[in-house]
Amino acid sequence: MTVIRPNAISGITSLTAQGDVINFFKSDGTLSGLEIGGARINAAGVSTFTTIKVGTAQTLDASGINVTGVITATSFKGDGSTLTGVAATSNISTNAIVNSGVTTTATLRVTGVSTFTGVSTFSGGAFVAAGFGLTVGSSFIKNNAVGLGSTDITGRNAGVGTATGTLIYNTTAGVVQVYNGNVWIAVSVTEPTWNTASGSLSTIYDKSRSNYSAISLSATSNNGGSLSYSITSGSVPTGMTLNSSGTITGTPNAVGSDTTSSFTVRVTDSPTGVYADRSFSITVKTTVTENYSYTGSNVTWTRPSNVSNLEFEIWGGSGASGGCTGNNTGAGGKTSGTITNISGNLYLQVAQGGRSHGSGAAGGWPNGGSGVNNHSCPAGGGGGSTNIYSESGTGFANLLAVAGGGGGISHGNPSSSGGDGGGTNGDNSSRGGNGGTQNAGGTTPSPPCGPAGNNGSALQGGNSGGGSGCTNAGAGGGGGYYGGGAGANSNSGNSFGGGGGGSGYYNTSRVTSGSTVTSSGGGWSTNKPAGIAAAISGDNTNGQDGYAIFRY
């Protein structure tokens, strides 16, 4: 063992010891420029070192040392817990460090730390310092005195110490530092901050899949860099993609049952390479079907979030019969299509069938024309129309779709049936009122007996004339976009009592794949429940109600 007790030592580049340990005992001076090639240094008594380099396979027992420069060693003795009092501007560079059984062959540097104690874990992704080409691996462990990297830190860490512009990653402080020629300055590099909340991004409804708005993810760079987005696990719904700008686009495939896709998105800051992950999900729903029957009041259809399209099928009410009948009332029409660009709630009226003379011969709700029940052969009322209104509320100007109602009947001789509702033009009665069109209500015939009835009008079937003393009463016209005309009162053997059918309608600026038909048209019975909108025969029978099916 060699013992050295100098007042000052400098410029030593080689020192041969007696044995393998060199002890320095110095409490009030400095030791600088020491480089030893073959001995262990026990420097417990030296107050300050400027530079120490220890050769291959040697160790440095650094208990109680105030280090102001650079220590380069092959290994540090023990677990490093005695390496204390390191100045904030000091650096430690090693080729191999053994601490508590953990070994790394990386070239490491720890700087700006006054005391190395305790055990910490740093986890995260690859870090690349902007503009300096320094890469630090995906995991770091600080074990007691010295930070240990799981991968090599190459390039600027080799021989780091004094060059201006040198960049290091301080694993203890968790920051990047650059040397300005005098001191190490922290370079703020922080992972991006997510602005988009984790969890469900959206629920996509089946009928709105084709025009679903793109989803834009958002994060903020804390380093002034540019951001890119990628999926690290899971997947977006089939048919959709995430681009590097963070936008999810595409049309998801239809699903047989509600399907939730979960995925993790990584936003990466360039050129630093720091990143942040966040988990999201998107649900694609199978078709939702809602059915509506007559209630006698307006229905508010509440638009679910993200629904922009609504597929519909609606039927109007059929007309009612009176007395002395033998022919059919008018059937309700059907209108179908898909309402697009929905931005709010819609409004629905589901038709009531016309009322028989025993029920007062009233027109079916909301707009069937009334019949007359105080002649020898009383008449029935016309069926109401089923109507869908826009987000602006009810009213003729806000109509999106109408299924016309059928006309009522009275005496059937000779063959005075009610006109079917629906189609662009409602059907005329075989003898009586005419059907409504796209711009006018159906007309009523001149009455051979008693007061005249009314023509149909916008959203209203014609009401028959009153009076008494005639043989055959006039029936009500069916409601519709424009209602059918009422039938006329008449004497025996000269019946004109059938009401005309109301017309159907769909708004061509809002409805795609639109269709409106009478009962003889194609698709009228498709998906129609039993007991809905059909023509009836026989005396004193109410008409059948309308119906609505919504799908989204």
* 3-state secondary structure string across 188-251: CCCCCEECCCCEEEEEECHHHHHHCCCEECCEECCCCCEEEEEEEEECCCCCEEECCCCEEEEC
Does position 51 have pLDDT exceeding 60, yes or no? Answer: no
Does position 434 have pLDDT exceeding 90, yes or no? Answer: yes
Does position 314 have pLDDT exceeding 90, yes or no? Answer: yes
Q: Which tops the pLDDT comparison, 542 or 163?
A: 542
Does position 202 have pLDDT exceeding 70, yes or no? Answer: yes
pLDDT bucket at 15, cuts 50 / 70 / 90 = low
Q: Which tops the pLDDT comparison, 411 or 275?
A: 275
- What is the average pLDDT value for the chain, to the nearest integer? 77
Does position 252 have pLDDT exceeding 60, yes or no? Answer: yes
- Cα–Cα distance, 76 to 87 (Å, whole number): 18
**Residue 56: its pLDDT value, please?**
41
Return the bridge partners of 348, or none.
299, 388
Burial class of residue 412 (count of CB atoms within 10 Å of its CB; 0-12, 13-18, 19+): buried
Share of the chain above pLDDT 70, in %: 67
Lowest mean pLDDT among 58-67, 487-496, 526-535: 58-67
- Cα–Cα distance, 408 to 429 (Å, whole number): 9
Does position 339 have pLDDT exceeding 80, yes or no? Answer: yes
pLDDT bucket at 491, cuts 50 / 70 / 90 = confident
Q: For residue 357, give the 3-state DSSP assignment.
A: helix
pLDDT bucket at 127, cuts 50 / 70 / 90 = very low
Mean pLDDT, residues 393-403: 98
Does position 180 have pLDDT exceeding 90, yes or no? Answer: no
Q: Which tops the pLDDT comparison, 48 or 468?
A: 468
Q: Look-up: residue for tokens 């936008």? A: 247
Q: Is the pTM of this model over 0.75?
A: no
Mean pLDDT, residues 41-60: 48
Lowest mean pLDDT among 99-108, 123-132, 272-281, 512-521: 123-132
Q: Which tops the pLDDT comparison, 86 or 490?
A: 490
pLDDT bucket at 486, cuts 50 / 70 / 90 = very high
pLDDT bucket at 323, cuts 50 / 70 / 90 = confident
**Residue 174: its pLDDT value, please?**
59
Mean pLDDT, residues 288-316: 97
Contacts of 520 (CB under 8 A, 6+ apart): 420
**Residue 311: its pLDDT value, please?**
98
Q: Which tops the pLDDT comparison, 183 or 484?
A: 484
**Residue 147: its pLDDT value, please?**
28
**Residue 223: its pLDDT value, please?**
83
Does position 221 have pLDDT exceeding 70, yes or no? Answer: yes
Mean pLDDT, residues 126-145: 26
pLDDT bucket at 84, cuts 50 / 70 / 90 = very low
pLDDT bucket at 345, cuts 50 / 70 / 90 = very high
Contacts of 58 (CB under 8 A, 6+ apart): 36, 38, 39, 40, 41, 73, 74, 75
pLDDT bucket at 176, cuts 50 / 70 / 90 = low
Does position 426 have pLDDT exceeding 80, yes or no? Answer: yes
Does position 320 have pLDDT exceeding 60, yes or no? Answer: yes
**Residue 75: its pLDDT value, please?**
43
- Cα–Cα distance, 108 to 409 (Å, whole number): 99
Count of helices and strands (H, E) across the chain: 0, 38
